A and B are shown apart, each in its own frame.
Chain A
Amino acid sequence: MDEKTGAERRSYRLTRRQFLAASSAAAAIAACGPAGTPGPSGEVTASPGPALKIGQLLPFTKVYAELGNSMKRATDLYVKQKGGRLANRPVTLVYADEANDPVVGAQMTQKFIDSDRVDLMMGIVATPIAYAVRNAIDAAKLIFIETNAGGNALTRTTNNCTPSCKSKYIFRTSFSSYQISYPIGEYFATRKGVKEVFTFVADYGFGNESAADFTSGFTKGGGKITGSLKAPLGSADFLPYVTQIKAQQTKDIYSFFSGTDAINYIKAWTQLGMPAAGYKMNGAGFLTEQDVLKEVKEQANGATTSLFWAVTLDNAENKAFVDAYQKEYSLLPDVFAVQAWDGMQAVDLALQAVKGDTSNKDAFIAALEGVKFKSPRGDFEFDKETHNPIQDMYIREVKVQSGQAVNTIVDKVARVTDPGK
């Protein structure tokens, strides 16, 4: 990130109140627009149907706040591009703060169901919150599009539904931890020719799932895990861990960290001269996603990760998406924005298929199951069995191009489907 965009970032930053006010106003103006105005596609639309209320449960405070902001930006942009209407129904977006607390998340879900009476619900960044509200959503027969939390169990058949399990009402446009971890494991063993890997992950549900899935993919492909280490969430000092990694012989390290932990890890990695000593950093894509990369920059050079998207991904939809997002917000989008964007796309297409009628839940679910579209990430469709996306996993390497550190696509594992069990 150069100086200029840095300045733009600052000037862009609205307070959350301005932000919320501006977007609901945009939706309201769109909703009040006169009938018969030309839609974005140019054709003249019929008089608007009943309002479509979408409850968005996102974090706007605490540690994941910026993820929530990013997802809100993408959502608002999508609605704006569609002139405030999906399938000719004026859209009202109701945002609530999940506050990184399952108790708050559960209450807000209840608010969406009982008070706002939303037509559908979207969002949720933290996996435990998604697990916490799963049963309430299922019982209320509320259609919910999960746009971030990647815990495997949310779209799987599990023993006793513990810690969670799939529901016919729940779809996911993000990923499962299996998808960002298993394929790269198998890829390393079978296609990259890596023989041995040492794993080092954040010691919480998600990090442990990622390590386990990577390990099973890698060993199934014939690779060997030579050792492992875990660090608690919010480990302030990563030097002890990286020192310990350096004291063992396996050069390829697989990691799951995100946010501040990823930044601290990558910095400690550089400080101890790991690249020069021949060590290679690998991981699930969040290790080097935009939020991390803009802070660590070239220090992440050479890191290989897998994710279903990269800002550099070369396809028409991604270019259009990145351009529109940048034009609107003077910011590069991140993967969280893509997940929210695709959530809106899926809803939009399914709505069109049922001609805007959400009263028949089964028909709407069938329509969602049937959507197929070109996403910024490439081809997108739901696995009808699990409602988790079927998507390509890109093997990405951080490279410094014209002074900027970016994730470049080096390969891909096509059509990755979560096993569902």
Chain B
Amino acid sequence: MTRFVAPVAALVIAALLVTFPIWSSAWESSRYATTILQSMLVVAILALSLDLLVGSAGMPSLGHAAYFGAGAYAAAIAGQRLGSDDLLLGLGAAVLVSAVLALAIGAVAVRAAGIFFLMLTLAFAQMVFAIAFQAADITGGSNGFSGVRRPTLVGLDFNDGTALFHLVAVVFLLVLLLVWRIRSSTYGRALVGLRENERRMRALGYNATRLKLSAFVLAGAIAGVGGALQAYSIRFVSTNDVGVARSVEAFVSVLIGGASTLLGPAIGAAVVVFIERVLDSYVPYADTILGLVFIVFVLAARQGIVGLVRVAFTRVRA
């Protein structure tokens, strides 16, 4: 009996999440709350993808927004240039472009480790930012890319705000499921092995460079999906979406929520979005709060919010 409790609870929570705009519709600010939740889910996808690198493989990328932004631009531009609203086409373009970009940058970056890797990913992301800014004919440059078309999928029209939320929530759940599967697969364990002891993994016959590069491309592709969803949500893509601030947001989300915990990055994303995009209009020191929260988690709670909850939970049970 008890072994059904967890899956059933997960299904119920998932259903509640997807149907949020419906059951919250009685609230006065339901639509705004939906907007914020949607934004949290998008950043959560970005953070979940980053955690594949940071948490699983121990690859601290500080330029992850490059792939997020590339996906956003790709979905937006593909939709407009090809005159198609097809969701699979948009997401396909996003995955393709961000994966190729991640492959190109990763080929250089994964040769470095630790702090060098962090700096290289940051610097390459700045290069992507510069290109997005400069290539105004394609990306709209500093003016941004406006009028992103909302997608359709075999009769489903996501033009409506509620339908789009369902899409974002479902994709988020799929990404969560994917990350969960990866983490429990041999591939995922190999990544963790890399983080724990790369030399040993090499001795065991793993091609560490190829393994890292594959993780980098996979994380880039998932980030690209997040970017595409943001482009559909805001119907606009700007150079901010490839900027360093977005990368820091993702990184902070992973660390606050708890790296290498399944749900941590998503919870962290919710906290970060709340502080940066909601609280920011009420207090003038939102960045200070975010910075302090971050410092405390890095110093004292390396497993993030999820880690704290686990500790509390085991204490209660003991």
Give per-residue flags for A184-216: 1 if the beta carbon is below 8 A from chain B beta carbons, else 0.
000000000000000000011110100000000
> Who on chain A is nearest to B239 by CB?
A128
Distance in Å: Cβ of A271 to nearest Cβ of chain B:
27
Say yes or no: A110 contacts B281, CB within 8 Å.
no
Distance in Å: Cβ of A206 to nearest Cβ of chain B:
7
Of A129-137, A260-268, A302-310, A357-365, the segment with at least 4 beta carbons within 8 Å of chain B is: A129-137
Say yes or no: A107 contacts B143, CB within 8 Å.
no
Give the contacting residue for B280; candidates A99, A110, A151, A205; CB below 8 A. A99
> Who on chain A is nearest to B284 by CB?
A16
Does B146 belong to the interface (CB within 8 Å)? Answer: yes
Say yes or no: A106 contacts B142, CB within 8 Å.
no
Of A157-165, A245-253, A290-298, A312-320, the segment with at least 4 beta carbons within 8 Å of chain B is: A157-165
What is the predominant secondary structure among interface residues of chain B facing chain A? helix
Complexed CA–CA distance, A107 and B145 (Å): 17
Does A11 belong to the interface (CB within 8 Å)? Answer: no
Q: Which residues of A contact B238 (CB under 8 A)?
A: 101-103, 128, 132
Q: Which residues of B contact A255 (CB under 8 A)?
A: none
Say yes or no: B144 contacts A131, CB within 8 Å.
yes
Does B234 belong to the interface (CB within 8 Å)? Answer: yes
Complexed CA–CA distance, A359 and B146 (Å): 30
Give the contacting residue for B39; candidates A95, A103, A128, A203; CB below 8 A. A103
Does A421 belong to the interface (CB within 8 Å)? Answer: no
Q: Which residues of A contact B29 (CB under 8 A)?
A: 114-115
Of B6-14, B133-141, B185-193, the segment with at least 4 beta carbons within 8 Å of chain A is: B133-141
Q: Which residues of B contact A208 (CB under 8 A)?
A: 136
Say yes or no: A97 contacts B280, CB within 8 Å.
yes
Size band of the B side of the interface?
A: 35 or more
Say yes or no: B147 contacts A110, CB within 8 Å.
no
Q: Which residues of B contact A103 (CB under 8 A)?
A: 39, 230, 234, 238, 240-241, 277
Say yes or no: A205 contacts B284, CB within 8 Å.
no
Distance in Å: Cβ of A139 to nearest Cβ of chain B:
10
Give per-residue flags for A14-53: 1 if the beta carbon is below 8 A from chain B beta carbons, else 0.
0111001000000000000000000000000000000000
Which of B241, B276, B281, B287 lies at the interface centre, i.e. has the most chain A CB atoms within 10 A of its CB?
B281
Residues from 191 to 230 in B contacting A, C-beta threshold 8 Å? 230
Complexed CA–CA distance, A96 and B284 (Å): 11
Complexed CA–CA distance, A20 and B36 (Å): 23
Residues from 84 to 137 in A contacting B, C-beta threshold 8 Å? 95-97, 99-104, 106-108, 110-111, 113-115, 127-128, 131-132, 134-136
Does B236 belong to the interface (CB within 8 Å)? Answer: yes
Complexed CA–CA distance, A115 and B236 (Å): 22
Distance in Å: Cβ of B141 to nearest Cβ of chain A:
6
Complexed CA–CA distance, A6 and B234 (Å): 42
Complexed CA–CA distance, A175 and B292 (Å): 41
Say yes or no: B283 contacts A17, CB within 8 Å.
yes
Q: Which residues of A contact B32 (CB under 8 A)?
A: 110-111, 113-115
Say yes or no: B28 contacts A115, CB within 8 Å.
yes
Does A60 belong to the interface (CB within 8 Å)? Answer: yes
Does A233 belong to the interface (CB within 8 Å)? Answer: yes
Given contacts A135-B235, A163-B140, A101 and B280 within 8 Å (CB-CB): no
Say yes or no: B146 contacts A164, CB within 8 Å.
yes
Does B35 belong to the interface (CB within 8 Å)? Answer: yes
Say yes or no: A110 contacts B245, CB within 8 Å.
no
> Who on chain B is nearest to A134 by CB?
B146
> Who on chain B is nearest to A104 by CB?
B277
Give per-residue flags for B234-252: 1 if the beta carbon is below 8 A from chain A beta carbons, else 0.
1110101100010000000
Q: Which residues of B contact A330 (CB under 8 A)?
A: none
Does B302 belong to the interface (CB within 8 Å)? Answer: no
Distance in Å: Cβ of B247 to nearest Cβ of chain A:
13
Which of B144, B241, B280 lies at the interface centre, i.e. has the most chain A CB atoms within 10 A of its CB?
B144
Give the contacting residue for A96; candidates B133, B147, B281; CB below 8 A. B281
Give the contacting residue for A132; candidates B133, B146, B245; CB below 8 A. B146
Does A61 belong to the interface (CB within 8 Å)? Answer: yes
Does B166 belong to the interface (CB within 8 Å)? Answer: no
Say yes or no: A101 contacts B240, CB within 8 Å.
yes
Say yes or no: B143 contacts A110, CB within 8 Å.
no
Q: Which residues of A contact B30 (CB under 8 A)?
A: 114
Give the contacting residue for B36; candidates A60, A107, A160, A203; CB below 8 A. A107
Say yes or no: B236 contacts A131, CB within 8 Å.
yes
Given contacts A102-B238, A102-B240, A132-B236, A127 and B143 within 8 Å (CB-CB): yes
Distance in Å: Cβ of B274 to nearest Cβ of chain A:
12
Say yes or no: B284 contacts A60, CB within 8 Å.
yes
Q: Which residues of B contact A128 (CB under 8 A)?
A: 142-144, 238
Say yes or no: B143 contacts A205, CB within 8 Å.
yes
Q: Which residues of B contact A108 (CB under 8 A)?
A: 281
> Who on chain A is nearest to B33 by CB?
A115
Give per-residue flags for B277-318: 1 if the beta carbon is below 8 A from chain A beta carbons, else 0.
100110111110000000000000000000000000000000
Complexed CA–CA distance, A203 and B142 (Å): 9
Distance in Å: Cβ of B227 to nearest Cβ of chain A:
11
Complexed CA–CA distance, A99 and B290 (Å): 15
Give the contacting residue for A110; candidates B31, B142, B276; CB below 8 A. B31
Q: Which residues of A contact B133 (CB under 8 A)?
A: 204, 232
Distance in Å: Cβ of A78 to nearest Cβ of chain B:
21
Q: Which residues of B contact A131 (CB under 8 A)?
A: 143-144, 146, 236
> Who on chain B is nearest to A110 by CB?
B35
Distance in Å: Cβ of B47 to nearest Cβ of chain A:
15
Which of A20, A96, A97, A206 lies at the interface centre, i.e. has the most chain B CB atoms within 10 A of its CB?
A97
Which of A106, A113, A136, A161 lies at the interface centre, i.e. has the most chain B CB atoms within 10 A of its CB?
A106
> Who on chain A is nearest to B29 by CB?
A115
Distance in Å: Cβ of B111 to nearest Cβ of chain A:
29
Distance in Å: Cβ of B46 to nearest Cβ of chain A:
12
Complexed CA–CA distance, A81 and B3 (Å): 68
Give the 3 A-B residue pairs with the shortest CB-CB distance, closest first: A16-B284, A204-B142, A115-B32
14 sample A-B contacts, Cβ–Cβ < 8 Å, listed by A number: A17-B284, A61-B280, A61-B284, A97-B281, A101-B238, A102-B234, A132-B146, A132-B234, A162-B146, A162-B147, A163-B140, A164-B146, A204-B133, A205-B142
Given contacts A99-B277, A102-B234, A110-B32, 11 further A-B contacts (CB under 8 A): A17-B283, A95-B281, A97-B281, A103-B39, A104-B276, A106-B236, A114-B29, A131-B143, A132-B234, A135-B146, A205-B142
**Interface of A toward B, CB cutoff 8 Å:** 15-17, 20, 60-61, 95-97, 99-104, 106-108, 110-111, 113-115, 127-128, 131-132, 134-136, 151, 153, 160-164, 203-206, 208, 232-233
